[in-house]
Structure 1
Amino acid sequence: MTPADLSLTVLHAVRRAVDDGALRVDVPPTVKVERARPGGVGDYASNVALTLARSAGRAALDVAGILEERLRDTPGLQAVAITGPGFLNFTLRPDADAGGELVRAVREAGGAYGSGTALAGLTVRFADLTESRALLVTETVVRLLRSQGADAAFRRDEGMRDEGTQGEGTQGEGRGEPVVTPSLRQPPTPHPHERIHVHPGAYDPRTLGVDAARWALLRAAPQDRPLDGPPLLVQHERNSLFRVRYAHSRVRRLLVNAAQLGFEPAYETPVHAPELLGVLGDHPVALLTAARHRAPDRVARHLEAIADALLAFQHTVLPLGDEKPSAAHRSRLALAEAAGTVLAGGLSVLGISAPERI
């Protein structure tokens, strides 16, 4: 992990703390890290907690503790320590390659990368709904909550089980209303019924198609007006849905082109792609935060960030001219493939398809 990589890693931790509601500050454009000075520990240090403390209205040690929690399991970091009034100190793992660990994690989990058990033991019941956008948002939130281990359902589904949590058994591969089947469990103990406050909006798959109709209602924050539908049908970089789906299709094309050149993805050597590695590493936290805040728009915005980083990176993947495929190309292709897998999984959470070609 280079100092630039470490700086981005700490910046991502600040963003996660703000998204989680643990810190109320403006996210700085950059975070400075430098070699640890006498009195510090480890390889590098940052005073970011001290610089954020005043605007956060908290002690620098408290801010440092919040950030340390979000950094302690970062691939490539052996240890994170707090010294003095609130300096963060970092010890790098020798010969650590965060990219290799991340690619392996995505390959092992597939489209379920980012799922976890952080909300295990939480039971959430949502009230009956009739308005189309409220129904769509709540159905997606239920899927998000279940992906993090929570027991979540609509009120009408109590004693029933939505088998579409992982994208199976739902109408249109998770893109319609949940399909429920009788549960063999005893009816759960009654819980207060939540209601997500949503700005009304019409679900219009006949005009827009399922994918654009869902993106229009889910990409905007629930309390905001839905996106205008017709622009989502235009294949242009200003169209956020197009960028995300196009990025996924580019990965599929890169894999085809690489096969024609005689090589396959295999992560063999470190890849310098801090932006792409950063947003991919943030994906589990993005899903968890979206579930906690009942905000599918956070997933959509995170997918946009992955797509933008991937589209900036994809030009480096294939050999140019007479260049022969090397370990670097195979490793870059493996990272691109992992990004495509994460994009497809994130779109599936939103009930949106990930096309092979556009």
Structure 2
Amino acid sequence: MTPVELSRTVLHAVRRAVDDGELSVTVPERTVITPPGPGGCGDYASSIALQLAGAAGQPPLRVAEILRARLAGEAFIDDVVVTGPGFLNFSLERDASALLVEEILRRGQRYGHAEGAGGTVVRLRCPAEVRAVVVADALARVLRSQGDVVRVTCDGRLAPEWETVLGVGGGHSGSNPGGRPGSLSAGPAPHSLPDVDITIHPAPADPLPLGRDAARWALLYPAAHDRPRIPGDHLVQREANPLFRVRYAHARTRALLRNAADLGFHPEPGPVSDAEALLAALGDHPRILAVTATHRGPDRLARHLVTVADAALPLLPAVLPLGDEKPSAAHRARLALAEAAGTVLAGGLSLLGIDAPDHL
């Protein structure tokens, strides 16, 4: 069960509580499922009870108990615990992790993408400044992954080397007398989202000497209000470099698949112990893509990829059998989980316009 599926299950429980007269609220269109916070437990958590308590005229703990009773017996949910002021904490059945890995491997790098067009037309408008142009390019990729139709307009002429080195360009030029350097706007279009202005710090120095991948990461990884570090340590191949950790984790998963094939076994989704952080990060990927699109913040996706990589790296040494050990179901399950992590890393990097090499 993925966070998206769990969200639907939670909203269905709210709807049944309303139909039964236990809650008098408008059923929300969506609810956010997150990893448990401090004091929480299990695989995922929801603050839906706190969200509904005011409208329901009941304490959050009472709302949580009403929903807990309806959720405890749902398929793939092993247990539901109420913690703190009314957080619902979910422990999934062990088969749920296998289903998540199966879904990722089935959808490949399109895991987390919307199925079908959403019908929203978005026009991204940016000044001819290198960071704004790269951010617009990455946002266009993420928005399209969520089913939106995107048109990028740049106010001014792009430097030819930006297209050659950074892979940006081809947008439509236009005039924007009121535009200001370092701003990115999603302007009105038929059936478009509301107007959004994102102010970003322009690049403090020329990022082109870093090359395409490191330059794009240097411009996309910082939040909009942060100043990019150029040159920084984006080309250094060590753990202190987040881009290196992400690409290294991906390359390691590919190497494990090659080595496993040489040993005569292949990935097979199944339960994996001590991988809760990685499973939670992989399950959260669709939500991160949606939030990145909604808030126009590619830095959210970049930081999420670091989270996935950091959760995957401790698992990887235990994927292959050691010495004379024979490959077991546990090895095949860990290999499938590693492949799923590599798939999410490659797909996320692709949306940022960054390559995910199989060898580093």
TM-score by length of 2: 0.69
User: Match of 1:142?
Assistant: 140
User: Match of 1:99?
Assistant: 97
Residue of 323, 327, 330 corresponding to 1:328 = 330
User: Match of 1:270?
Assistant: 271
| Contact 2:127–2:154, Cα closer than 8 Å, also in 1 | no
**SS of match in other structure, 2:256:** helix
User: Match of 1:77?
Assistant: 77
Amino acid across the alignment from 1:77:
I
Residue of 137, 161, 168 corresponding to 1:177 = 168
- Cα–Cα, structure 1 residues 298 and 45, in superposed 2: closer, same or farther, change >3 Å? closer
User: Match of 2:227?
Assistant: 225
| Contact 1:232–1:239, Cα closer than 8 Å, also in 2 | yes
- Which runs of structure 2 are paired with 1:32-111 in the superposition (5 Å)? 32=41, 60=60, 76-77=76-77, 86=86, 88=88, 97-111=95-109
> Matches of 2:301 and 2:322 in 1, distance apart?
34
- Cα–Cα, structure 1 residues 63 and 145, in superposed 2: closer, same or farther, change >3 Å? farther
- Which runs of structure 2 are paired with 1:273-352 in the superposition (5 Å)? 273-352=275-354
Amino acid across the alignment from 1:328:
A
- Cα–Cα, structure 1 residues 258 and 75, in superposed 2: closer, same or farther, change >3 Å? farther
- Cα–Cα, structure 1 residues 89 and 349, in superposed 2: closer, same or farther, change >3 Å? closer
- Which runs of structure 2 are paired with 1:96-245 in the superposition (5 Å)? 97-116=95-114, 120-155=118-153, 176-179=167-170, 189=190, 194-201=196-203, 204=206, 206-245=208-247
- Cα–Cα, structure 1 residues 220 and 179, in superposed 2: closer, same or farther, change >3 Å? same
| Contact 1:133–1:203, Cα closer than 8 Å, also in 2 | no
- Cα–Cα, structure 1 residues 135 and 59, in superposed 2: closer, same or farther, change >3 Å? farther
Structure 2 runs not aligned, ≥5 long? 11-30, 156-162, 173-188
> Matches of 1:314 and 1:262 in 2, distance apart?
18
- Cα–Cα, structure 1 residues 126 and 63, in superposed 2: closer, same or farther, change >3 Å? farther
Tell me the CA shift for residue 77 of structure 1.
2.5
User: Match of 2:14?
Assistant: none
The percentage of aligned residue pairs carrying the same residue is: 50
User: Match of 2:259?
Assistant: 257
Tell me the CA shift for residue 241 of structure 1.
0.5
> Matches of 1:286 and 1:62 in 2, distance apart?
30
- Cα–Cα, structure 1 residues 203 and 149, in superposed 2: closer, same or farther, change >3 Å? farther
TM-score by length of 1: 0.70
- Cα–Cα, structure 1 residues 29 and 48, in superposed 2: closer, same or farther, change >3 Å? farther
**SS of match in other structure, 1:233:** coil
> Matches of 1:147 and 1:285 in 2, distance apart?
12
> Matches of 2:240 and 2:62 in 1, distance apart?
40
> Matches of 1:150 and 1:216 in 2, distance apart?
26
> Matches of 2:59 and 2:169 in 1, distance apart?
46
| Contact 1:81–1:89, Cα closer than 8 Å, also in 2 | yes
> Matches of 1:197 and 1:63 in 2, distance apart?
40
Which deviates the most, 132-141 or 279-288?
A: 132-141
**SS of match in other structure, 1:231:** coil
| Contact 2:151–2:171, Cα closer than 8 Å, also in 1 | no
Tell me the CA shift for residue 120 of structure 1.
1.7
Amino acid across the alignment from 2:236:
V
**SS of match in other structure, 1:97:** helix
> Matches of 2:46 and 2:140 in 1, distance apart?
38
Amino acid across the alignment from 2:140:
V
User: Match of 1:165?
Assistant: none
| Contact 1:219–1:301, Cα closer than 8 Å, also in 2 | yes
Tell me the CA shift for residue 79 of structure 1.
9.3
- Cα–Cα, structure 1 residues 263 and 226, in superposed 2: closer, same or farther, change >3 Å? same
Amino acid across the alignment from 1:271:
V
Structure 1 runs not aligned, ≥5 long? 14-21, 34-43, 158-170, 182-187
> Matches of 1:298 and 1:117 in 2, distance apart?
22
Q: Which digits, 9 at most, give the CA deviation of each residue in 1:62-86, with x for residues without a partner?
A: 9969x99xx99x983289799xx94
> Matches of 2:226 and 2:59 in 1, distance apart?
34
Q: Which digits, 9 at most, give the CA deviation of each residue in 1:235-281, with x for residues without a partner?
A: 110100000000001111111211222211122x3112111111000
Q: Which digits, 9 at most, give the CA deviation of each residue in 1:72-107, with x for residues without a partner?
A: 9x983289799xx946376866xx512211111111
